[in-house]
Amino acid sequence: MTAADNNPLIDRRQAMRGAAMAGAGAMFLSPAMALSASSDMSAIRRAAEAGRQASIQRIQDWIKLPSIAAEDRNMPEGADYMASLAQDAGFQHVEIVPTDGYPGVFATLDAGAPRTLGIYFMYDVKQFDPAEWSSPPLAGAIVDRPGFGKAIMGRGAVNQKGPEATFLAALHAIRAAGRKLPVNIVLIAEGEEEIGSPHFKQVATKPNVLAALKKCEGIFIPASWQDKNGNVSVNLGSKGIVELELVASGEKWGRGPKGDIHSSLKAMVDSPTWRLVQALQTLVTPDGNTPAIDGWFENVRPLTAREKALIAETARNSDEAQRKAILGVETWIDDLPFEQALQRLAQEPTVNIEGLVAGYTGPGGKTILPGAATAKIDLRLVPNQTRAEAETKLRAHLDARGFPDVEVNVSGGYDPTETDENSRLIRTELATYERAGITATLNPRLAGSWPGATFTAPPVSIPAGHFGMGHGAGAHAPDEYYVVESTNAKVAGLVDATMGYADFLYQLAAIR
């Protein structure tokens, strides 16, 4: 869910367009210049450059083994492969962690350092249809991406095998340069991210894993989300999400038909589709913009003054007209000014319809009265709402409104997350970006969602976020790619992104 779900302002299918959204960014200073002050860094860069081809091969090989939980495809194989990647990168303890679903992987690299960094990986990828791709999705071919450079094209290239393998490349380079890691590393990986991480908490709370995680200064997922101006966001949290289907059916209702019947019978038979429509419209205000589920706002924490200030800064530094153009939007909700619209983006829980499916969905019409109707819904949650609370309240609301038969089939979800901007994790992210000459915007709350709450909530309770340089796009879409040789001076290629991770480790060790 992460990669498709993390960018609040663009559909990642349109990442090339999305990249144009950023405001003016600072000139990207080559990491070669920014980092060469340290002799460690010079040696590591030489090793990263020497290992560049091996690093590309590592990504390509990994892409050849797609693990897809929704299709029960290569799941044990994917966990084993993840484990071997960790071993090769120098982790001394590597462990497959069984769950009630597909296994996770836990690994530790003890450098004898005072501080420890957590790293979160997913070894699974989104489903794909080879027919939609311009290059075979498992081939990992090197292709040209105008404006960015040479990229690996394949399923998982950016979501997340490319960035993850780049982090591993940093560990390889530090070892190859004969340097000792400045921090210890705890790696936790799952194979069910794309189906909503239903068993990830089992991995994270296994006693030895939990104990290791709790020692971490924080944990991040490697990410490569530089836009074409080189800019990145540092997220201080994210909304939660519940994805579900609301289903009205004659079967459950006891009224209407159990299957599709001829539409003329509407005069004497109830319609489950109309029932769904009636149930749906109780969930939001008449403008469709504010949840109207009973008690929904009870635990909603308003934005702090600091969060509002950060949003105001983002609004000032963004090109509103360009964002509207890219999104195909003429006006924000309630005709709000941009700053207030961005506040709403961070502040408000939402009830969104992702899809409607009932009866005949092909071209033209077909005279049927459908036996069932489905709305695909996502509920976005803000602190201090929880996923469990949301599910309970939605069910209670429908029951109270006379829709006990309308099914709520939850497929996955995450709690909201929050990470203190004064944590060493966030301060290290900002420091590392600054050393690389990258403009980082502090985002108080990602409107998208990710499994970070597993880390920020008890019992783990550590800072969690996203970090990384470089660029890729097409997560969940055809022609997914990850740039390995950048022709854009503001955007890191594979070696510069590798050095970004290496520098992060040294900064985390050094920061006060």
- Closer residue to a second copy, CB minimum distance, 55 or 374: 374
What's the CA gap between 138 and 13, in Å, rounded? 19
Residue list 308-347, contact with a second copy (CB under 8 A) = 327-333, 336, 341-342, 344-347
For residues 48-107, which are near a second copy according to CB under 8 A? 70
Per-residue CA distances from 498 to 166, 273, 469 (Å): 5, 53, 8
Restricted to residues 368-427, the positions that interact with a second copy (CB under 8 A) are: 368-371, 373, 376, 378, 380, 411-412
Angstrom CA distances, 130 to 127, 172, 244, 384, 451, stand at 10, 32, 28, 42, 28
Question: Which SS3 state, helix, strand or coil, does residue 144 take?
Answer: strand
Closest CA to 409 of 245, 242, 273, 252: 245
Contact by Cβ (8 Å): 273, 248: yes
Q: Which two tokens stand for residue 289?
A: 């913009």
By CB under 8 A, residue 287 contacts a second copy: yes
Looking at residues 214 to 233 of the shown chain, list those that interact with a second copy (rule: CB under 8 A).
none
Near a second copy by CB under 8 A: residue from 24, 131, 207, 361: 361
Stretch that binds a second copy, among 50-58, 183-191, 257-265, 459-467 (CB under 8 A): 257-265
Give least dist CB 331 to a second copy, A.
6
Two structure tokens written together for 270: 């109830």
Q: Is 56 helix (H, G, I), strand (E, B) or coil?
A: helix
Smallest distance, a second copy to C-beta of residue 155, A: 16
Enumerate long-range contacts of 340-343, CB under 8 Å, 24 or more apart: 342/311, 342/314, 342/315, 343/303, 343/308, 343/311
Q: Which amino acid is at 412?
A: G
State yes or no: residue 304 binds a second copy (CB under 8 A).
no
Q: How many residues bind a second copy (CB under 8 A)?
A: 95
User: Least Å distance between CB 272 and a second copy?
Assistant: 9
Interhelix angle 424-435/494-510, nearest 10 degrees: 130
Question: How long a stretch of residues is the chain?
Answer: 512
When binding is defined by CB under 8 A, the residue of 36, 208, 322, 352 that contacts a second copy is 352
Nearer of residues 135 and 317 to a second copy, judged by Cβ: 317
Q: What x-and-dash track marks residues 265-284 binding a second copy by CB under 8 A? A: xxxxxxx-xxx-xx-xx--x
Q: Which is nearer to a second copy, 65 or 244 (CB)?
A: 244
C-alpha–C-alpha distance, residues 512 and 397, integer Å: 49
Q: Which stretch binds a second copy (CB under 8 A): 30-38, 74-82, 104-112, 254-262?
A: 254-262
Report, in Å, the least distance between residue 291 CB and a second copy.
10
- Tell me which residues in 161-190 interact with a second copy (CB under 8 A): none
> Residue 409: enclosing H or E segment and its boundaries?
strand 407-414
Minimum distance of a second copy from residue 79's CB (angstroms): 22
Residue 292 contacts a second copy per CB under 8 A:
no
Quick check: 44 binds a second copy (CB under 8 A)? Answer: no
Residue placing its CB nearer to a second copy in the complex, 188 or 293: 293
246 binds a second copy (CB under 8 A): no
- Give, for 186, the enclosing helix (H) or strand (E): strand 184-190
CA separation for the pair 79, 105 (Å, rounded): 7
Helix (H, G, I), strand (E, B) or coil at 150: strand
Neighbours of 237 (CB within 10 A): 25
Which residue in 11, 49, 110, 320 binds a second copy (CB under 8 A)?
Answer: 11
